[in-house]
Every structure is written in structure tokens, then in C-alpha cells.
Amino acid sequence: MYQIQCLYFYRHWIILKNYNHSEYETLKTLFRPCLRFILLFYNDSAGAQVNLVRNGSFEQYDTCPYDINQIRLATYWNAIDTNYSIDSTLSYHWDAPEYINGCSSSPEVSEPGSVGFLHYPHSGNGMVLSVLTYAIGNPPMPNYFQGQFSSPLIAGKTYCVTFYVVRTGHYGGLEINKIGAYIDDGSIDTTHDLTNILTQYTPQVYDTAIISDTANWTRITGSYTASGGERFITIGLFFDTSDIARQFDGRNIYMPAYLFDDVSVIASDAILSAGPDKTITHIGDTVQIGLGSDGDGIPAYWYVLGSTTPIDSGGSTHVHPDTTTTYVITMQTCGEQTKYDTVTVFVKKLGIADPGWLSRNLSVYPVPTKESLTIEGAGACSYELLNVLGARLLTGTLHTARETISLQSLPTGTYYLQVTDAAGYRVVKRVLKE
């Protein structure tokens, strides 16, 4: 009961923090014993990092790359071909993957570079270029790169593993399949003579299709049930050249060169959040929405509610609306299930009252529902019910403070109720129809 009371206080406390500072400070003193529990609850649930792979989109770096073979400069990433390290005082490994970032002035490792590739990253400014193995007739010299998790995987728990690849085309003419990811506790052999592929390890996630597309990023994904304690993900080729399918694109460049981005390991029960609603006071102001660094590298896309064209990818984005706008984040997990959430950026017009009154008063129930939906606290507002693609299914006006709309004609699924007041401010609620 004490925990429930604390969570109820927390919800009320956050509202007051945004809209009534003096009462917020008073309640903070009266309910100080609750704060420790609240912070623990928040950190263990809504505040948890969605993507367990640190720096999954290769945005963070210790030093901006300035030469080839510098994957180690991407924070939390490294090559594992330590037998090809020259000297600890030197800045690179032979035949380590390349760290590509738009911060670089070197054409070999900036995006898009004039050498090796003509691509932008799947998201953000960073990505990795890796030559997975040399052609038949030459010694294989595979490029493995390894990343770290923010916390160990939990035994028996299922995770969705995802990463994106695109063939460079310009750099290598060999196309292959079975590009994979191997997850372990760090015991993978990092001192092996890497003139051979690490066939003693079987990647838990890989794609059997030959990846030949040089224009569009290909999503490789699969489910993984943890043994417990895994802390690393290693990406590369783990199958012997006799076990992989390969084809040439007609050029005499016998190397499979691929770009990689947005590596993620996400628990099956992870909660997708678009972040709290925000208010800007000037038309066109830029504001960040989403998970920030906690959503780094997640396989998500952003849309303006009502549009089917993505405006960005990844766990967060920067927007600059000229009117109050609701944005939708979608994340496709393993099993082709898609998670959704919304966030509204209010554009507060001069001379107009506080836009937060509608979000504070609006109540929609029951959720989930089977037949009808009751809307309270939104008299004189209009409403629209949209599907997840933004198509308008129902529209109307709420003439009284409590009204009910029928959903009997709609199939089961996820919908969004958008309520708009006379000043143009909107609040969006997710609706589940059973």
C-alpha cells in the first residue's frame, strides 16, 4: 500500500512540478520519505536503458577518426584481432574495421567518403566499415568488431538482437550471406591467429540471404535467449568460405565490404517511450524528443501523427514544429511485433492560456476496451480516432464534459485518440481495442 501511495504521489508531484512550483516544493518536503522509493522505481522501469548495447549507433567517440583501422576510437567498441596489433604505442591495428564518422576530415573515414563507399549512416553520423574476408585464393583476414552491454543479460530472458548492413559496392565486389552476431561473456578467443575465420563459434543471429543491396540498409535480426552473464556482442563472419553463399557483381574486386550501423540488444519486455510532452514558446524552436542516449541505436522510426513517411530513425530526434504537433515513434521487435508511443510538442502562442490544461483534465477509459470509450474533461473539444498509420477512422465534437463514443465497428488493435481544444492544442491517448 505504501508503494502504491508513493507512486500516486509521484504522478501528482510531477504534474505540479510543471505547473505549480510552490505547491510542488511543499509536497516535496511532506513526502520526502517516498523519494527514495520513487527514484528506485523510476530507475528500474521507465528510466532503464532500452538498448543494452553501449553506443549502438557509433555516435560517441574518444577521438574523431583520422585514419583507417580505428574502430577502437568508437567508445565501447574494439577490434578483436589482437594478433595483428603492431605496438601498443601506435594508433591502429592492421586490418581492423574502419570507424566512420562525419566529424572526420579524412575522406577515407568520413561519411560519405570519397574512398570506399558513398553512403550515409543508417542513423546519426557514425558507422563501421568492415571487409569480412578476402576472396578464395587469398588468406582470409576477417574483421571482427566487439561491443559492450550496459548490464549483463539475464538467464532465461529473451532478447531481440538487431543490426543493419549495406554493401558498399564501390569498395568490394563480392556479395555473401551469413553475416552474424555472436553474444558471450567475453571468452571469445581474442588471441587467435586471424588468418582464419573463427568457425569454432556459431553466431546466434545471422541472415541466410546474400546481401547484395548497395542502396538500402538491410535489417538483420533474431531472438536470443540468454544463458546469463553475457556482456559482449561480436559482429563478423563466423562461417568458413565453403559454408557461405557468395556471388560477384562482375568486377574484379574479390572482397565483401559492408557498412554496419545501429546495433541493438533489447529485452522482449522493454517499454518504448517517446518521452514527456514538451512546450516551445517560439515557432520553429528546436527541441529533442524521445529517449536521448538511452535509446541509442534502437530499431525505431519517427513519424508525424497522420503521416506514413518517416522523418527520422533511432531512439530520439530533433524537431522544430510551427504548430502543436504529435509525433509517433515505432519500434519493430523480433516476431514482427511493433511497439508504439507518442509525444506532443505544444507551440504556446502569445496571449493564449496555459496549453497544459487539456492534458491535466483529459481522461479516457476503459483501456483496453471492447465496445466503447468514455472521454472526460474535454468539453468543447474536437476528437479524431486514428489507426497506427495515421488514417482517420472517427471524428466528432465533444459537447459535454463526459461523452462516450462507440468502437464496435472497429477491429481489435491499437488506435490513437487525438483531442484538440479551441486554441489548437492537442492531446493524444493510445487506445487498445480487444
pLDDT tens digit sequence for 69-121:
888 899 999 887 644 444 444 433 445 788 999 999 888 888 776 566 788 89
Is residue 392 pLDDT above 60, yes or no?
yes
243, 267, 291 — which closes off a domain? Answer: 267
205/254 same-domain check = yes
My answer on whether 279 and 356 are in the same domain is: no
Quote the pLDDT of residue 192.
55
pLDDT digits (tens, 9 = 90+) for 191-211: 555 567 888 899 999 999 999
Nearest CA-CA partner of 348 in 419, 423, 288, 294: 423
Does 412 have pLDDT greater than 80?
yes
Same domain, 114 and 219: yes
The number of folded domains in the chain is 4
In a domain, 129, yes or no: yes
State the average pLDDT for the chain: 79
Question: In the listed set 219, 236, 267, which residue is the last one of a domain according to the structure?
Answer: 267
122 is in which domain, residue-wise? 71-267
The answer to whether residues 330 and 193 belong to one domain is no
Q: Name the range with the highest mean pLDDT among 9-23, 83-97, 249-263, 295-309.
A: 295-309
- The answer to whether residue 17 scores a pLDDT higher than 90 is no
Task: Answer yes or no: do 227 and 110 share one domain.
Answer: yes
Q: How far apart are CA 122 and CA 126, in angstroms?
A: 9
Q: Identify the domain boundary among 267, 295, 314.
A: 267
Q: What is the mean pLDDT of residues 382-401?
A: 86
Q: pLDDT at position 48, please?
A: 57
- Asked whether residue 60 is assigned to any structural domain, the reply reads no
Q: What are phi and psi of 44, to 5 degrees?
A: -85, -10
Q: Is residue 50 part of a domain?
A: no
Residue 54 lies in a domain: no
Same-domain pairing of 180 and 120: yes
Residue 55 lies inside a defined structural domain of this protein: no
Q: What is the mean pLDDT of residues 152-181?
A: 89
The band of 223, judged by pLDDT with boundaries at 50, 70 and 90, is very high
Residues with Cβ within 8 Å of 284's Cβ and at least 6 positions away in sequence, in order, are: 320, 321, 322
Residues 80 and 105 in one domain: yes
Residues 344 and 358 in one domain: no
Indicate if 87 and 24 belong to the same structural domain: no
DSSP-assigned letters across all residues of 216-266: SPEEEEEEEE--S---EEEEEE-S-GGGS-EEE-SSS----EEEEEEEEEE
Residue 57 counted as domain residue: no
Does 65 fall in a domain? no
> How would residue 9 be classed by pLDDT, with cut points 50, 70 and 90?
very low
Could you report the per-residue pLDDT of 226-246, keeping only the tens digit for each?
A: 999 999 999 998 888 788 887
At residue 17, the 3 state secondary structure works out as helix
Residue 99: per-residue pLDDT: 92
The count of C-alpha atoms lying within 13 angstroms of the C-alpha of 153, restricted to the half-sphere facing its C-beta, is 28
Residue 35 has what pLDDT? 44
- Confidence at residue 21, expressed as pLDDT on a 0 to 100 scale: 43
